[in-house]
């Protein structure tokens, strides 16, 4: 079944969520008020009204409550301005309760009925007393959310090993799965120091070129494969995946480089039958 939706984001570098636009004529970058699991929030339209199927929705479709008014925008800006003060007061109570947790950030709901506090910790944290202290301090509902190390890095930001600002803090809305297999596919060093980000997890950018490497590898002969070149028969001893070229040990010309398209014939390599000379 097709659903009419509009794409809304709540943070500059955040996930996109679908909502029912109802009868509102919404355009890109319009500010709107919607109800989420956290309460009423103000978001920005980042994808125009369109139709999507049921399987593209990750949860029940909620309606846009209203187009943001000047009063809504004023309240939102006040909430943002009050965050540094709220963080300072939260840190004081965390220290008072001697809790092993790292405070990452906090945010008020638009109607200021709830304060959501994000933190990171090694294990489970008993913060019941902390919640009581904070509720008495702020006089509103308190919600503490423990997030993983990746989300922690997204909150705090920083500079990656490439010298640029962290991808997750500048443009990545979602975290894609990254595996050691992807690093091997790109011939990267498997030293954890070289392939890990500030969060301690595998670098998100390992995912970026993986599809290209996978596609190019389908066109390249495997190492130790026998090939026919313009200089005769030879054996593949190295491959440049991005350049789609191989280094071949030929029978008469020694080691030479060839583009894959210049190879006259490629014999499939069988690991059970070692090449001559081994």
pTM of the model: 0.74
C-alpha 86/C-alpha 104 separation (Å) is: 12
Q: Looking at residue 166, what is its pLDDT? A: 92
Average pLDDT over the chain, rounded to an integer: 89
Q: Percent of the chain scored above 70 by pLDDT?
A: 96
Distance, C-alpha 269 to centroid of its chain:
37
CATH 3.40.50.1220 fits domain 220-267: no
pLDDT average, residue stretch 245-262: 88
pLDDT at residue 90 is higher than 80: yes
Helix (H, G, I), strand (E, B) or coil at 67: strand
Architecture, CATH, for domain 74-147: 2-Layer Sandwich (3.30)
Q: Looking at residue 133, what is its pLDDT? A: 95
C-alpha 167/C-alpha 186 separation (Å) is: 20
Q: For residue range 24-55, list pLDDT tens digits in order.
A: 999 999 999 999 988 899 999 999 999 888 88
pLDDT at residue 270 is higher than 80: no
Q: Looking at residue 272, what is its pLDDT? A: 52
Would you kindly state where each structural domain of the chain is located, as residue ranges?
2-68, 74-147, 151-207, 220-267
């Amino acid at each position: 079944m097709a659903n009419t939706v509009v794409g809304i984001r709540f943070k500059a570098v955040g996930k996109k969520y679908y909502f029912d636009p109802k009868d509102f004529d919404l355009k890109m970058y319009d500010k709107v008020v919607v109800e989420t699991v956290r309460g009423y929030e103000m978001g920005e339209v980042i994808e125009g009204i369109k139709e999507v199927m049921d399987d593209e929705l990750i949860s029940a479709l909620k309606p846009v409550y209203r187009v943001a008014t000047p009063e809504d925008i004023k309240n939102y800006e006040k909430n943002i301005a009050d965050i540094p003060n709220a963080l300072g007061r939260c840190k004081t109570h965390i220290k008072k309760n001697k809790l092993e947790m790292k405070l990452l950030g906090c945010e008020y709901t638009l109607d200021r009925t709830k304060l959501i506090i994000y933190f990171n910790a090694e294990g489970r944290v008993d913060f019941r007393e902390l919640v009581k202290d904070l509720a008495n301090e702020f006089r509103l509902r308190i919600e503490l959310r423990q997030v993983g190390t990746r989300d922690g890095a997204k909150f705090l930001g920083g500079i990656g090993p490439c010298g640029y600002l962290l991808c997750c803090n500048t443009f990545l809305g979602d975290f894609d799965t990254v595996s050691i297999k992807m690093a091997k596919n790109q011939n990267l060093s498997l030293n954890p120091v070289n392939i890990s980000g500030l969060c301690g997890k595998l670098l998100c950018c390992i995912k970026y070129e993986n599809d290209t490497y996978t596609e190019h590898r389908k066109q390249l002969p495997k190492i130790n494969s026998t090939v026919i070149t313009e200089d005769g028969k030879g054996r593949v001893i190295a491959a440049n995946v991005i350049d789609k070229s191989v280094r071949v040990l030929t029978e008469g010309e020694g080691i030479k480089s060839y583009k894959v398209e210049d190879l006259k014939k490629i014999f499939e390599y069988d690991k059970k039958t070692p090449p001559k000379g081994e």
